[in-house]
Structure 1
Amino acid sequence: MDPRSEVLLRQAELFQGSLLLAGLPADDLLGRLPGAVGWSWHAGEQQLLNKRFSGRCSFGVAPPPGEYVAAVLFLPKSRELTDYVLQALAAQLAGRPLYLVGEKRAGVERAAKQLASLGRARKLDSARHCQLWQGEIEQTPAVPDLDALAHQFTLELDDGPLQVISLPGVFSHGRLDVGSALLLEHLDNLPSGRVLDFGCGAGVIGATLKRRYPQSELVLLDVDAFAVESSRRTLAANGLEAEVIAGDGIDAAPRQLAAIISNPPFHQGVHTNYHASETLIERAAEHLSSGGELRLVANAFLRYPPLIEQHLGACQTVVERNGFRIYRAICS
């Protein structure tokens, strides 16, 4: 059981009836709270929860409609995403409690101040290195407008400006990260065919690829609902069309790909997690056609070349700069 869920269950009498759990972990909490439903923006966790508790956890960028006696937010990593979700939940909870639970090191005390802006807030419990807070929604806020919260910026690229739309919680929200900037400079000479942007974020790489290779079929994949929505908006803002899918890892990707391009994630919440990127390398060959290419950017300290050579073949370092490297390998 996740320690945040354990803290919640220490006060189980507060969480009976029609309860909305937002950003909940994929543990047994729904089984312990039979009247509760979940809202997740992580495709992998939502998939696991729906396998165990069919139909009780929704996926997307907005909470499921309904009349709830209360809601609980499991603290997200991003302050901007916390703001949005708190507002979205509070809009459905006039006069009813909104709870916040999170790890101390994840900034739950800071987030409690955000909760307090919606009504009186008080700490109910502190255990398992986590805290549980309760807020009373005194005045119902308006439903937050994602369009108003989006960061829109322009990248001046060699083939013209690219409009980027980034939503709260998306990696490198509102700016271009160093790894993606380097990868943008080295997208030449890709094989033609179906191309995957793995871990698409706000869609910068995928939109650039579609513009540079208009005859290729582009697929953009991310585990996060806000990233998927950001990518769709970035494509639309540039008059581009591509398939955007939500899924947890490379197993969710199509087969027979000509190329996989990626700035793979290595964080989940406040924790470092290399599972998605390592699994991508280990299973890329299952998704690539013969002669297909894996091209990814990664921090230089990560020892990816031996793993790439073990599962794909010869690994070429295309460039190294500012602590990042681009690796390239061809599937035999």
Structure 2
Amino acid sequence: MSGPSDDEHYFSADPSVPFQRARVHARVWGLDLDLVSGSGVFARGRLDIGTSVLFRETEPPTGGQILDLGCGYGVIGLACALAAPTATVTAVDVNQRAVLLANENAASLGVSDRFAARVPESVDPAATYDEIWSNPPIRIGKAALHELLLTWLPRLAPGGRAVMVVGKNLGADSLQRWLGEQGFPTERIASAKGFRVLETRRS
């Protein structure tokens, strides 16, 4: 009998599976990132395809307040912090192991002064962000995803933007339309390997 899969535990705040770390090497925006992922955290031991598409099809942020939404072990937010030395990054995940790993990775990369991973309820609800970067957890279901996005997108500062990667077969095009209907005009800025990269603006 097989044990629980990582996907089953991804959305659990405190997974009960034994915790084993796994190293990940990623080259992002010309930077080499040596990171640690772990069991019960999305994309353990690898850089998932969607996130790799996101990196390949975008330019890094230049600074400001950045939110990594659904951070996992922190690769997106950490890449932003390294690429933009004046950026301050808040990384958010419901998975406590992900938060632990992301903060450990920030320490190993020397960016703990500008990067903090937290569970959502620990984030200042009054904080605003110049940019939100995310490979959002589509598999939580449409209703939960919509609730998630309507919680965080309004925290974009005036003129701010969100950059997200979403699988075409997981509803990227309908999500793009829905975001526009909610007052967040969204453009597809790239499409590769079955994924769309979407840029959402606060209107």
Whether contact under 8 Å (1:296, 1:326) holds in the other structure is yes
Q: Out of 77, 102, 116, which is 1:206 matched to?
A: 77
TM-score (norm. length: structure 1):
0.52
* 1:1-332 equivalences in 2 (<5 Å): 42-43=12-13, 82=17, 84=18, 149-188=20-59, 190=61, 192-241=63-112, 242-247=115-120, 255-267=127-139, 272-301=140-169, 302=171, 303-332=174-203
For the 8 Å contact 1:179–1:297, the answer to whether it is kept is: yes
How many residues align structurally?
Answer: 187
Question: In structure 2, do the counterparts of structure 1 residues 162 and 253 end up closer, same or farther at CA, with 3 Å as the change threshold?
Answer: farther
Q: Sort the Cα spacing of 1:203 and 1:254 in 2 relative to 1 into closer, same or farther, 3 A.
A: farther
| d(CA) in 2 for partners of 1:155, 1:300 | 24
Provide closer, same or farther for how the CA distance between residues 232 and 254 of structure 1 changes in structure 2, counting only shifts above 3 A. farther
Decide which moves more: 227-236 or 200-209: 227-236
Deviation at 1:276, TM superposition (A): 4.0
Alpha-carbon distance between aligned partners in 2 of 1:197 and 1:308, rounded to the nearest angstrom: 18
Deviation at 1:285, TM superposition (A): 4.1
Deviation string for 1:232-279 (max 9, x for gaps)?
12212222221111126xx87653210111101133xxxx52344322
Q: 1:327 to 1:308 in 2, by over 3 A?
A: same
Higher relative contact order (CA 8 A, sep 6+): 2
Percent identity over the alignment? Answer: 24
The code of the aligned residue for 2:94 comes to: V
- 2:63–2:85 contact (8 Å) kept in structure 1: no
Determine the C-alpha separation between the residues in 2 that align with 1:317 and 1:291. 18
Q: Could you tell me which runs of 5 or more consecutive residues in structure 2 were left unpaired when the two chains were aligned.
A: 1-10
Amino acid at match of 2:130: A
Q: Secondary structure at the match of 1:226?
A: helix
Following the alignment from structure 1 to structure 2, what is the Cα–Cα distance between the partners of residues 225 and 266? 19
Q: CA deviation at 1:168?
A: 1.1
* Displacement after TM superposition at 1:183 (Å): 1.1
- The one-letter code of the counterpart of 1:195 is I
AA paired with 1:259? E
Equivalent residue letter for 1:244: A
Structure 2 contact 65–89 (Cα < 8 Å) conserved: yes
Find the residue that maps to 1:197 and give its secondary structure. Answer: strand
How far did residue 194 of structure 1 move? 0.8
- Could you say if the C-alpha distance between residues 254 and 170 of structure 1 is closer, same or farther in structure 2, counting changes exceeding 3 Å? farther
Q: CA deviation at 1:42?
A: 4.2
SS of the counterpart of 2:197? strand
Q: Which stretch of the first structure deviates more once superposed, 229-238 or 280-289?
A: 280-289
Aligned-pair Cα RMSD in Å: 2.3
C-alpha distance 213-253 of structure 1, shift in aligned 2 (>3 A)? farther
Contact 1:198–1:264 (CA under 8 A) maintained in structure 2: yes
Q: Gapped runs of 5+ residues in structure 1?
A: 1-40, 44-59, 61-75, 85-145
Partners of 1:186 and 1:279 in 2: CA distance: 27
Whole-angstrom distance in 2 between the partners of 1:189 and 1:180: 13
- Per-residue CA deviation, residues 47-93 of structure 1 (Å, 9 max, x unaligned), is xxxxxxxxxxxxx6xxxxxxxxxxxxxxx6xxxx62x1xxxxxxxxx
